[in-house]
Amino acid sequence: MRKNNMQTSKDSELKEQAKGKSSKLIHKLPKQRTRISQGQMHSTQDFVNNEDQDAYSVRENENELHINNSGMSELNKKLQLPNVELSTLSHTQEQEFNELNKLIRKINELQEFYLLEDLAKPVTNAGADADDTIVKDLKKELENEKKANHSLKNELLKTREQIKNYSKINILIKELFGLEVADCIEDEDGYRFNCKNTGRRGTLEYQLLLDDQNFTFTPRLNVQTDEELMKHLPDYLLEEIIFTKEQGKLFSARLMKALQD
């Protein structure tokens, strides 16, 4: 009987201990919920701060984009040669013109690189200079090209004046001798001049090939349109002939005489 009472007392103590632990556990649950809510509040505040930082970054990017867009218009400001009819230039002038054109293209390429390198700075930050030596060399070369730009402009002006003078000379030759030179083509055989002479009898079109020693005359006659002219021309002007440079003046005189008589 005593044993049963002792067992009952122990069971009661265990029950009371279990209730005490359960009560403590229940009291702890709200505190855990409170800590979770505070963590969520911290996460929400971090999210708001991140949103503000993202908005600031967007504004920075928009400012950089505005700077870049305003600078891109500078890429369109390039040196250009004046419009020139290449057919009016002599062979030497054409070579000079092509050399000037190459030089201007090189200046424009260097200017474009220099501008793009400056525009890239706000985007790539100060540490974006991958190779300072190359950039410095290019800047130095650009400065040298800019110094030569003044003399280049003077050469262009001289070329334009020479073209005007040659045009006036061609007008004089046409009025005095009835000779017009349409163009000149250089090939492996020499210089080919496409010409025409006009006189009282009509207009004769022909090609003159000039090599180191001789002229080669090749008439360009059309049987249908040049029938009347061909009746008045001597036979030697109806076919290809070759004569020396010394005979050039004599040939020219006979050609003009044939077109006038």
Tell me: do 90 and 154 sit in the same domain: yes
How many structural domains are present in the chain?
3
In a domain, 195, yes or no: yes
Domain range for 195 is 178-260
Tell me: do 209 and 131 sit in the same domain: no
- Asked if residue 241 lies in contact with residue 255, where contact means CB atoms within 8 angstroms, the answer is no
Enumerate the β-bridge partners of residue 204.
197
If pLDDT is split at 50, 70 and 90, which confidence band does 58 have? very low
Tell me: do 163 and 82 sit in the same domain: yes
In a domain, 83, yes or no: yes
pLDDT, tens digit, 9 for 90 and up, residues 4-44: 445 445 555 544 554 444 444 444 444 444 343 444 444 44
Q: How far apart are CA 260 and CA 178, in angstroms?
A: 10
In a domain, 254, yes or no: yes
In a domain, 127, yes or no: yes
Tell me: do 105 and 27 sit in the same domain: no
Single residue among 132, 149, 168 that ends a domain in this structure: 168
Q: How far apart are CA 55 and CA 57, in angstroms?
A: 5
Q: How far apart are CA 2 and CA 9, in angstroms?
A: 11
- Give, in degrees to the nearest 5, the angle at Cα 206 between 235 and 87: 170
Q: What percent of the chain has pLDDT over 70?
A: 61
Q: Which whole number is the average pLDDT over 77-91? A: 68
Single residue among 134, 168, 202 that ends a domain in this structure: 168
Lowest model confidence (mean pLDDT) among 3-12, 98-107, 224-233, 247-256:
3-12
pLDDT, tens digit, 9 for 90 and up, residues 196-243: 999 999 999 999 999 999 999 999 999 899 999 999 999 999 999 999
Instruction: For residue 230, give the CATH number of its domain.
Output: 3.90.1150.80
Tell me: do 85 and 117 sit in the same domain: yes
Q: How far apart are CA 236 and CA 231, in angstroms?
A: 12
If pLDDT is split at 50, 70 and 90, which confidence band does 186 have? very high
Other Cβ atoms closer than 10 A to 215:
19
Other Cβ atoms closer than 10 A to 33:
10
